[in-house]
Amino acid sequence: MSFKRKLFLLSMRKEKGLVLIITLFVLAMLLIYGLVILSSTLDEAGLNSYQIRSTKALFIAEAGLEDIYNEIRNAPSLVINGTISGNHPLTSFADGNYQIMVSPVNFTNNPDGKEYKVTVLSTGEVVNVTRQLKSDFIVTVYPTALDYSVYSFANIWMRGVTGKTFYPPLNPALPPDDPTGYGKGGDIGSNEVIDFQNASVNLNNIHDTAEYLSLFGDNDPARWGNIMVAGNPATTFVQTNKTSPVNTAEVLHSDCQFTHVSAIVRLSHPLSKPEINFTIYNNANDGDTLSYTYQGSDYSVALRVYNGDLTITGNVVWAPDAIHIIRGNLVIRGTGGSLTITDGSLIIQGSLILENGSRLCITHDTPGKEHRRVLPGVMVYTPDPTSPNGQALGGTEYIEVGTQAEFAVYGLVYAENYFIANPQSNVEVTGAVLTYGETGNSFTNWNARVVVRYDPIVKQTLYVTLPSDSILVTRAFWRETS
C-alpha cells in the first residue's frame, strides 16, 4: 500500500473520531437542555398545582364564611345568646375542608337597636395548602312594639290635673340589669306624638304630685324606662321647665313640666306592627280545645264562643282556663256590672266598653298555671271574612274604660283602633298595651290612674309573630389574614 493511501486512511479515521466527539457533545448538550426544560416544566407544573390548590383553599374558606352566614341568618339567636362562639367541627367541602372559629360576642346597645357582633375566621385547606379569611358578622335587634309597656301607632295623650300614670318594674326585687327584664320599668313609644299636658306633669318623680308619669316605681335611676318616638312626626314631646337634660323635645304646652327624665329619644324609623293571626278565633266552635306548647310542656285551653253583641250586668264569673270569644261588641254595664276570668282571655270581634263604674278582671297568676301568661289578655278587632289567615280589617274597634271603672288585665292588651281611660278610672295591666290606631289618639289617659307593669313574656303571646324586619343580620367584606 502506498504511502498516500495510508495517509488518506489515517485522516479518515481522525475525522470519524472528531465527528463522534462532536456528536457526543451535541447529544450531551441536548440532554442537559432537555433536563433543564423538564425541570422547568416540573417546577411550573408544581407551581400551577400549588396555585390551583391555593385558589381552591380560598374558595373553600369563603364557602365556610357563607355557610356560617346562612346559619346565623336563619337563627340569629345563636349570636344573641353567644352559643355560636368557639371552634366549630372540621367540615369537608369539595376537594378539601374548612375550619370555623367564632370570637366571643361584642355587645353594643343604642336607641336604634342592640348590636351583637362576632368575628368569624374561616380556614380553608386543600392538600396542605391553607388560606384564612376573616369577616365581621353583626346581628342588630331593633325594638318591636312589644318591647314597650305601651306602644301606639298614632298619638299618646296624658291628660288631666289629677290623673297618674306609672310604669313600674314587674319585680322590683330584681336588679334593673336582670336579663329577664323583670327588674326594670317599661318604656313607652309611639310612631307619632307623645303629648303630656296640664299642670305638674313630672316624669320619674316618686312624689305623689297632682299628675305625673313614673317609668320605674322607685327612686333608682337604673330602673328608669325611656320615652321614644319613631320616624319623623311633625311634633314630638310636650315639655317645659325641664330640670334635667332632655333630648329632641319640643315645647307644645307651657303648663307642662318634666323632671328626673332618664331618656327621651327619637328612633330612626317607625316600628312595624307585629302580625296577629286570628284564624283559630274566627274558626272556633264553642267547646273546641286549643293546644299549645310553652317552655317544652304541652297545655290546652277551652274555647268558649258567644255569638253576637253581649251585655253584662251584675257580677259575672266566666269559666277559668278558657279563651272567651265574643263575635260582636262586649259591654259591661254601669255600676255593679262586673266580669271576672281566671287564667283566661277575651278575644272580641268588636269593641270592649266598660261603662261608668263597671269592672273587668282577667288574671293569670294561679300557682302552677303561670304558663297562662302566654295567652293574650284582651284583644279587640274586626275580622276579615275573606282573609284566609283571619286577619283583622283594621281601624275600627276600640277599648274604652268609663269614669270610675276598673280594668285589671294580665296579658297583652291589643286594640285595633284606640284605648281610652276616662276620668277617675283605674287601669292595671301586667303585660303590655298595644294600640294600632294610625290617626288621632291611639292611647289616652284622660285623668285616670294607669299602671302598666311590663312583662316581657308578652312577646311569646300565642298567635302573635314579631315582624321579620326587627332583626337584621349583616356582614363585612371578608379579608385575608396576613
CB < 8 Å & 24+ apart, contacts of 365-368: 365/410, 366/320, 366/342
pLDDT band of residue 210 (cuts 50, 70, 90) is very low
Report which residue type is found at 18.
L
336, 357 Cβ separation under 8 angstroms: yes
Mean pLDDT, the chain, whole residue set? 80
Q: What is the pLDDT of residue 313?
A: 94
Residue-wise pLDDT for 314-360, tens only, equals 999 999 999 999 999 999 998 889 999 999 999 999 999 999 999 99
- 226-240, 280-294, 373-387: which range is least confident on average? 226-240
Least confident residue range of 73-77, 345-349, 378-382, 438-442: 438-442
Tell me the pLDDT band of 98, cut-offs 50, 70 and 90. very high
Contact 123, 406 (CB under 8 A): no
Amino acid at residue number 480? E
pLDDT at 47 over 80: no
58 phi and psi, to 5 degrees? -65, -45
- The pLDDT value given to residue 221: 61
Residues 6 or more apart in contact with residue 458 via CB below 8 angstroms? 146, 411, 412, 431, 432, 464
Q: What is the structure's pLDDT at 338?
A: 97
441 has a pLDDT exceeding 60: yes
Grid cell locating 135: 369577616
Q: With 70 as the cut, is the pLDDT of residue 403 above it? A: yes
Is the pLDDT at 205 greater than 50? The verdict is no
What percent of the chain is predicted at pLDDT more than 70? 74
Res. 183 pLDDT band, cuts 50 70 90: confident
Whole-prediction pTM value?
A: 0.77
Buried b (16+ CB within 10 A) or exposed e, 320-343: bbbbbbbbebbbbbeeebbbbbbb
* Range scoring the smallest mean pLDDT among 25-39, 125-139, 437-451: 25-39
**What is the per-residue pLDDT for 235?**
43
| Position with higher pLDDT, 48 vs 291 | 291
252: exposed, middle or buried (Cβ count in 10 Å: 0-12, 13-18, 19+): middle
Q: Please give the average per-residue pLDDT across 37-49, as a whole number.
A: 63
Which range among 68-82, 198-212, 374-388 has the greatest average pLDDT? 68-82
Cβ atoms of 105 and 82 within 8 Å: the answer is: yes
- The pLDDT tens digits of the residues spanning 236-282 come to 444 444 444 433 333 334 344 444 445 566 677 788 889 888 888 88
pLDDT of the residue at 261: 47
Name which of 152, 206, 213, 147 is nearest 181 in CA terms.
147
Give the span between the Cα atoms of 16 and 436, in whole angstroms. 111
| Cα angle: 156, vertex 158, 163; to 5 degrees | 150
Per-residue pLDDT of 130-182, as tens digits, reads 999 999 999 998 888 998 899 998 888 877 666 677 778 888 888 877 777 78
The pLDDT assigned to 283 comes to 85
pLDDT digits 0-9 by tens, 184-199: 777 888 888 777 665 3
Contact 333, 312 (CB under 8 A): yes
Half-sphere exposure of 251 (CA within 13 A, CB side): 6
Q: What is the pLDDT of residue 138?
A: 94
Task: Give a three-class secondary structure readout of the chain.
Answer: CCHHHHHHHHHHHHHHHHHHHHHHHHHHHHHHHHHHHHHHHHHHHHHHHHHHHHHHHHHHHHHHHHHHHHHHHHCCHHHHCCCCCEECCCEEECCEEEEEEECCCEEEEECCEEEEEEEEEEEEEECCEEEEEEEEEEEEECCCHHHCCEEECCEEEEECCCCEEECCCCCCCCCCCCCCCCCCCCCEEECCCEEECCCCEEECCCCCCCEEEECCCCCCHHHCCCEEECCCCCCCEECECCCCCCCCCECCCCCCECCCCCCEEECCCCCCCCEECCHHHHCCCCCCEEEEEECCEEEEEEEEEEECCEEECCEEECCCCEEEEEECCEEECCCCCEEEEECCEEEECCCEEECCCCEEEEECCCCCCHHHHHCCCEEECCECCCCCCCCECCCCCCEEECCCCEEEEEEEEEECCCEEECCCCEEEEEEEEEECCCCCEEEEEECCEEEEEECHHHHHCCCEECCHHHEEEEECCCEECC
Q: Give mean pLDDT, residues 442-455.
A: 89
Main-chain dihedrals φ then ψ at residue 361, nearest 5 degrees = -135, 120
